Amino acid sequence: MDFQRIARPQIKDLPVYSPGMGTDEVRRRYGVTDVIKLASNENPLGPSPMALEAIKGSLEEVSVYPDGACTVLRARLAEKLGVPAERFIFGNGTDEVIDFIFFAFFNEGDAAVMGDPTFSSYFLSGMTMGASLRYVPLHEHSHHVEEMLSAVDGATKAVFVGTPHNPTGTICDREDLETMLGGLPPDVLLVWDEAYYEYVDRPGYPESLDYIMEYPNLVVLRTFSKVYGLAGLRVGYGIAHPQIVDYLERVRPPFNVNSLAQVAACAALDDTGHVERSRAVNAEGKRFLASELGRLGMDPIPTQANFVLFRFDHLIESLTPKLLARGIIVRDGASLGYPGYVRMTIGTGEQNAAVIGVIEEILAEEEGG
């Protein structure tokens, strides 16, 4: 069979996403019992107990197709966020909403502007549709909005901005958002990805939803995968003008968000205590890691998310494999456009301290030769 002939040319060079090694594989391969996984920015406190209860209460319903419109979750979010219900689009994770944006609006050659480095879903989804990807280098690990605006031309359909950005943890301030909204042609989408919204504690972080009624080209993305601790259930959403939502709905599979994800997300929204604990643990871990990684000379980039990107290559040749062999899974920056860096999810106090201890051991061994 000529497999090459039937594959679409756009996907022939598309890399398959690699999430890295899982906990079980590390246990087996390295014979370590205690594995700490801080590679995918999951909530170290786990899901809300209220979400777990809600899932248990709904198990019997899994023989029935879910509500494709996410009616209950939609109404809850509309009320909580003060946004009309018809402005929501739900996805099997926010990743799927990013797919919808490309499926609905991008023909071969249409351009998407994004930072460099940036979150892989933006360019992987874009490549699938044969989009032309315009990468604009970060400045000091942050988006440079004027340069991104300069990269917009007649072929551009959307600009993608993660804030906090992945993999750097940096945010755009209000001025950045207003510069973007003011500078973009009205028919170019601004996809403002706030997957880590709940973790931000820096004043000056704009309330993007305040702009949603005035700017029909603004699309805000949020998720239940991070602070809400539901990454495994896959539920995320976008907020946009009803006409944009209408187009995204046309490319959405009918039952894309499963019923357990929907009830869990509703319950997680109600569990404000769990969100507060998660934020507090993260804030404490952020302070600890900034100070400890700084002390070790690893230049942690000040983060507004639940992960921290830090540098090792001026101190040691490789770090990720050495951590892995000791049961600590982090993400090597090389796979994120940041060679010589590591992206580590902020864990519990105990996990963070363990990682710092192991890094110190590794550095000491290196010095000992």
Ligand X SMILES: *Cc1c(COP(=O)(O)O)cnc(C)c1O
Nearer to ligand X, 118 or 217 (CB): 118
List the one residue out of 120, 122, 113 whose CA is nearest residue 144: 113
Work out how close the CB of 334 gets to ligand X at its nearest, in angstroms, rounded to a whole number: 18
List the one residue out of 195, 153, 114, 168 whose CA is nearest residue 311: 168
Contact, 129 vs 123, CB < 8 A?
no
Among 44, 66, 162, 169, binds ligand X (CB under 6 A): 162
Work out how close the CB of 237 gets to ligand X at its nearest, in angstroms, rounded to a whole number: 9
Rg (CA), the chain: 21
List the one residue out of 168, 101, 91 whose CA is nearest residue 128: 101
**Residue 93 sits in the site that holds ligand X (CB under 6 A):** yes
Nearer to ligand X, 234 or 326 (CB): 234
**Residue 169 sits in the site that holds ligand X (CB under 6 A):** no
**Residue 94 sits in the site that holds ligand X (CB under 6 A):** yes
Distances (CA, A) of 204 to 171, 173, 217, 238, 353: 9, 5, 22, 22, 31
For 168-200, give the secondary structure using H, E and C: CCCCCCHHHHHHHHHHCCCCCEEEEECCCHHHC
Work out how close the CB of 2 gets to ligand X at its nearest, in angstroms, rounded to a whole number: 34
Residue 286 has which token pair?
Answer: 């952020």
Rounded to whole angstroms, the Cα distance separating 255 from 39 reads 29
**Residue 282 sits in the site that holds ligand X (CB under 6 A):** no
Q: Would you state the torsion angle of the CA atoms of residues 12, 14, 17, 21, taken in this order, to the nearest 10 degrees?
A: 70
Nearer to ligand X, 306 or 352 (CB): 306
Give the number of C-alpha atoms closer than 13 A to the C-alpha of residue 221, restricted to the C-beta side: 30
Work out how close the CB of 162 gets to ligand X at its nearest, in angstroms, rounded to a whole number: 4
**Residue 197 sits in the site that holds ligand X (CB under 6 A):** no
Nearer to ligand X, 106 or 199 (CB): 199
**Residue 236 sits in the site that holds ligand X (CB under 6 A):** yes
For residue 19, give every residue at least 6 positions away whose Cβ sits within 8 Å of its Cβ, in sequence order, or none. Answer: 39, 40
Work out how close the CB of 364 gets to ligand X at its nearest, in angstroms, rounded to a whole number: 33
**Residue 166 sits in the site that holds ligand X (CB under 6 A):** yes
**Residue 158 sits in the site that holds ligand X (CB under 6 A):** no
Identity of the amino acid at 132: S
**Residue 193 sits in the site that holds ligand X (CB under 6 A):** yes
Work out how close the CB of 100 gets to ligand X at its nearest, in angstroms, rounded to a whole number: 12
**Residue 225 sits in the site that holds ligand X (CB under 6 A):** yes
Work out how close the CB of 7 gets to ligand X at its nearest, in angstroms, rounded to a whole number: 25
Among 125, 223, 320, 352, binds ligand X (CB under 6 A): 223
Pick the stretch among 73-81, 89-97, 179-187, 322-330 that binds ligand X (CB under 6 A): 89-97
Work out how close the CB of 215 gets to ligand X at its nearest, in angstroms, rounded to a whole number: 20
Q: In what order do the strands lie in the sheet with 331-332?
A: 307-311, 341-345, 331-332
Which position's Cβ is nearest ligand X? 93
Binding mask 106-145 for ligand X (x = CB under 6 A): -------------x--------------------------
Identity of the amino acid at 182: G
Nearer to ligand X, 306 or 363 (CB): 306
List the one residue out of 57, 73, 66 whose CA is nearest residue 269: 73
Work out how close the CB of 343 gets to ligand X at its nearest, in angstroms, rounded to a whole number: 10
**Hey, is 221 helix, strand or coil?**
strand
Binding site for ligand X (CB under 6 A): 41, 93-95, 119, 162, 166, 193, 195, 223, 225-226, 231, 236
